[in-house]
Structures are given as structure tokens and as C-alpha cells.
Amino acid sequence: MIAATPSPPYYAVIFSNMRTEINDGYAETAEEMARLAEAQEGYLGHESVRDELGITISYWTNLEAIRSWKQQTDHLLAQRMGRDKWYSAYKTRICLVERDYEFSI
């Protein structure tokens, strides 16, 4: 589903990753992180896809909200588990969305 975001400007955090073969607790943690992110102040929505490459884009009102989410206690634990078990590589990009447009039927 495409996230319903407000009119720009707002921020996007693009998290691209390559998974390992280890699945232990991954799906449950991903669901919990989505639930917790939704409760964070400044959260606007997210989109996520996985094929060989996984990409999750989360949308935020400002940089402070992104910093707060990065430091959220359960998210810190999930980040550690990602580095230790679930990801062979990842990259995070933080972007200012200055313009967006859409099409739908």
C-alpha cells in the first residue's frame, strides 16, 4: 500500500537491505517495529517491499522525529539484531521530500 503523506515538505528515511538466511524472530520484530513507529510522534507512514533486496521507506515530519525513532529502546535492540543476525548489508538514506505527486484509478 502506498503511504498517504501530507503536502511537502516532509522527510523520508530509505532503508535498503540484504538479508541473511537467518529468520529467527525477524517477521515478528518487523511487525513490532511498524507498530511502534506508528506510535512515534512525527511518524507519517511507511512502505516496504522485499525481493532479493528489501526496501522500507518511512515518512516523518522532521529530523527530530527521525532521531527520536532511531534512539527508541526497542528499535535500538532491533538494530543490533539486524547487524548481528538478519542483514548481510544495509544502507540508510535520509531525504527531504520537496515535491510529490500521484496517480490512481
Burial grade of 50 (CB within 10 A; 0-12, 13-18, 19 or more): exposed
Tell me the per-residue pLDDT of 57-99, one tens digit each, with 9 for 90 and over.
999 999 999 999 999 999 999 999 999 999 999 999 999 999 9
Residue that has been written with the C-alpha cell 528489501 in this structure: 54
Q: Domains, the chain, ranges and CATH?
A: 10-97 (3.30.70.100)
For 1-13, the pLDDT digits (tens) are 999 999 999 999 9
Q: Whole-model pTM? A: 0.93
Between the alpha carbon of residue 36 and those of residues 29, 56, 77, the distances in Å are: 10, 15, 13
